[in-house]
Amino acid sequence: MTDLPSRKPKTPPGPKPAGQKPPGAAHGAASDTRLLLKRLREIMAGGGPAAPRLERIAKIIATNMVAEVCSIYLRRAGDVLELFATEGLNPEAVHKTRLRIGEGIIGDIAAHARALALSDAPADPRFAYRPETGEEPYQSMMGVPILRTGKVVGVVAVQNRAQRHYSEDEIETLQTVAMVLAEMVASGELVSAEELREADGIALLPLRLNGVRLNGGLAIGLAVPHEPRIVVKRLIAEDVPLELDRLDAALAGMYTQLDTMLADDALAQGGEHREILETYRMIAEDRGWLGRIREAIEGGLTAEAAAEKVRNENNARMQAVADPYLRERMADFDDLARRLLLHLAGGDGRADIQKPSEMPPDIVVVAHSMGPAELLDYDRARLRGLVLEEGSPTAHVAIVAKALDIPVVGRTRGALSRIEPNDPIVVDADHAQVFVRPGEDVLALYRQTASDRVARRAAYTAMRDLPSVTRDGAAISLRLNAGLLVDLQMLAETGADGVGLYRTEIPFMVRPAFPSAEEQTTLYGRIIDLAGGRPVVFRTLDIGGDKMLPYFGEKTEDNPAMGWRAIRIGLDHPALLRRQLRALVRAASGRELSVMFPMIAEVAEFAAARRLLDLELARCAARGMEPPRSIKVGAMIEVPALLFQLPALVERADFVSVGSNDLVQFLFACDRGNPRLAQRYDVLAPPVLNLLRQLAETCRAARGGQGIPLTLCGEMAGDPLEAMALIGLGFRQLSMAAPNVGPVKAMVRSVALGHLAEYLGELRESCDHSLRSKLLAFARDHGVAL
């Protein structure tokens, strides 16, 4: 059995072990494959109905593979595989035998998009017997998926009566044959493309797709499916050395194009997006990927066919990979293969480039996934938004989109099959929604929303340099939540007072390995530089839970939000935490340093983490390095247990910050990722507000009444109504995403704090499920801008 051609299948016991091929065997196998492909192409090029041609193809495959049986199954609507042609089985089973995806050996091949070679197929637990086929006498089976643009469209299999150990060359030959069959399937003569389309993709009715916000904003435009379709027309190489030369020439052209792209002024400023693109450029010279393409050419394929073959194999592998880092790497290889095909395709008839019609002035690109450089292929004067079937906020394309201020919604299931070219689309990335073919009323509403958004942004920009002070003179410090260097640009644009939360784990998540202490020192130093004298609070690594590092080897947990994460990992791996603290101390040499430890559950954990920082400060002094001018050490309050040690904590910490997202879900024992519970509890419920009031009072009374700073850096801080409640309870520092600074400042400047605090005091004993409606009424009655 073999998963993919990139991995060499294990050779079962036998007289001719794999790897011990007689001289000239590889050349002979390649020659036989080319001859087989040539015969298949001749049949496909011939006229007449498709079904008889498919029967002839099955017979030729069986003869060439020295097999008694060859069967070709094609995918039908409803995820069913139907027998379309056979040589050796009962011909009456054609169009009668059906298997669900995942059913039987054939269904398993389709479900996992991988080849299988079994010497005793009936003994395999996946074997599904179909009496109408008459396949009882056949012991051995080899099957491979028929792939088209990375999707399984069928399965081709051969069988033998005797036990047979299929060789690596035989598996690769059948995979190459499957490429030819994919062309025939794609023609629509056997199964129409419409049959496999989802119903709402055919009906052209208005449609709403829900996804995940990858970069906020609002975009309106016409849909452009990503990438021109490249149809490889010539599969068989007539001159292998020539094809290898063509590959080298195309690679040279691709490398030049990538180098030119990296020199673009829009990307000249450093940051994670720049590092991602530079890593992508390095991946383009990956020896393993290039070696597989060269191997396919040496096996008898043209350069285009070889690149397409390796691309399809990678795409099939990606369907079975859950690891986000590996999926990101595979997406990079998919993009590189597409670029390579574009450089190979020319006017020699080997491939056709089917480009979309001329781009409209406002486009929304729709893609399954996208490499970081692909976004730059589009005219940025026309590109309004991006819709992805995959993706995450730390996906490389999302980071590049953020640098270019392009709204992105990811994980929109089935977007490509449901959206037609030139469909009107609204991308409401702030609410993670995509509206396809919206009615005129919806479109008009969103156009007005877009216009209002521009007007509001202009108003917030005009307010940028005004102080964040309430009508009765209370100063409220508004700060940014950040995690990328590009976020620091928003300090000047928003007029924020500093960075209240810098998520240090995000740069770790977009790198292929742990950054060294030197790399971290450089990064943190640049962050402090870009802040331009404004305070920056660095949160130490908050990994684990939903923020997994691909190279760290964390194991899946039943309850990751309450599992081994954040400071628990840091204390269990003190060398890891000390390396980060060492980098922070060095980066802040002669300047102010604020460090915050996440997920603290007890004062003892805070004390242990602070001791590690003290060790690094002592190390710095022993080596004669200049230490930070001042150091402030804080704790995040996310775990309710810490609230019962609050008096002890505020005497030891220099500041505290509330992570309201985790604190509220732990307080209510409510998984914030569970859609059934999303609206069940409100952050403006009396238990939450009373807890936060008590916290603010304790911090204000700490250290003999001198007090210590208290910040809230969860989602509450960025919602004007919820932020209004926070300042009424006594919070004077709020940290939020950059787009929320303007709306919250407008609220602050329009509210009278005395009246608000008095009103909240009256609600202290309330037993209502939520106080949201009452706070909304207060804001409306007192002219508070929300």
Catalytic residue among 431, 713, 769, 782: 713
SS3 700: helix
Please report the sign of the dihedral spanned by the C-alpha atoms of residue 17, residue 23, residue 26, residue 31.
negative
User: Which three-class secondary structure state does DSSP give residue 589?
Assistant: strand
End-to-end CA distance of the chain: 62
Q: Is 396 a catalytic residue?
A: yes
The dihedral through the CA atoms of 746, 750, 754, 758 has a sign that is negative
**Spatial separation of the C-alpha atoms in residues 600 and 609, rounded to whole Å:** 10
C-alpha distances (whole Å) from 514 to each of 477, 481, 511, 612, 739 are 34, 23, 7, 19, 31
Q: Is the Cβ–Cβ distance between 360 and 382 less than 8 Å?
A: yes
| Residue of 318, 355, 76, 319 lying closest to 197 (CA atoms) | 76
Q: CA 242 → CA 237, 246, 249, 433, 522, distances in Å? A: 9, 6, 11, 49, 47
DSSP reduced 3-state for 785: coil
Structure tokens at 725: 């409640």
**For the chain, what is the largest distance between any 2 Cα atoms, rounded to a whole number of angstroms?**
94
**Known catalytic residue: 70?**
no
DSSP 398-429: HHHHHHHT--EEE--TTHHHH--TT-EEEEEG
Amino acid found at 320: A
Residues in the chain, how many? 786
CA distance 426 to 221: 7
235: tokens are 């599969």
C-alpha to C-alpha distance for 460 and 457, rounded to whole angstroms: 5
Token pair belonging to 264: 């673009």
**Tokens, residue 282:** 């390095």
Distance CA 506, CA 152 (A): 35
The CB density around residue 4, as the number of other CB atoms within 10 Å, is: 17
Which residue in the list 165, 343, 396, 699 is annotated as catalytic? Answer: 396
**40 with 177: CB under 8 angstroms?**
yes
**Catalytically active residues, by annotation:** 396, 713
